[in-house]
Amino acid sequence: MQVDYIKDVHGFEDDNITLLLDDGDHTKPTKANIAAAYRNLVKTAKDGDVVYLHYSGHGVKLADDDGDEEDGFDECLVPLDFQTKGIIRDDDLLKILVKPMAEGVFVTSIMDCCHSGSILDLPYSFKADGTQEDMGEEEGFNFDKVDETPDDEDDDEGGRCTIS
């Protein structure tokens, strides 16, 4: 299990690990719980910290609802309660997790789900296709223009379609 790996190999401590699982023993990976876990991480992370995020569950793409996606689609996480609370759009992940993260925090994020390639709306892209050597910066991206008000609390709009 990844928890054992990051503890045994990289020295992460239990107090610094948050698990959301739909196993009946842990906090459930609902929309509100996922957002709260990301917000808490942002609140506590500081310059020099190393952060490891792992989402393993469903992902979907839906028509872009605010015109910021070049391909016309938002990539989304599908929480346990998606049928009543909706999905978590890449726009909200950018506002909740990416933009407010303290400078100098080293983040590794593994998104084991469909449509996850640009799910954090980062201004850089890398394609492991054997031809690209460096991260390519997206033209015209400006973090200062990101609206910092996420629409994640009770949003049930969007598609209907688990963190482990």
State the pLDDT at residue 127.
67
**Rounded-to-integer distance, Cα 36 and Cα 100, Å:** 14
Q: What is the pLDDT of residue 32?
A: 98
Residues belonging to the active site = 58, 114
Structural domain harbouring 80: 2-127+138-145
Could you tell me the CATH number of the domain that includes residue 106? 3.40.50.12660
Does residue 155 belong to any structural domain of this protein?
A: no
pTM of the model: 0.78
Residue 159's pLDDT is what? 32
Total structural domains in the chain? 1
| Residue 150 belongs to a domain | no
Judge whether 132 lies within some domain: no
Is 84 exposed, middle or buried, given 0-12, 13-18 or 19+ CB atoms closer than 10 A? exposed
In a domain, 7, yes or no: yes
Question: For residue 33, is it within any domain?
Answer: yes
Considering the domain boundaries, does residue 152 fall inside one? no
Which DSSP symbol is given to 102?
P
Stretches in the chain below the pLDDT threshold 50: 152-164
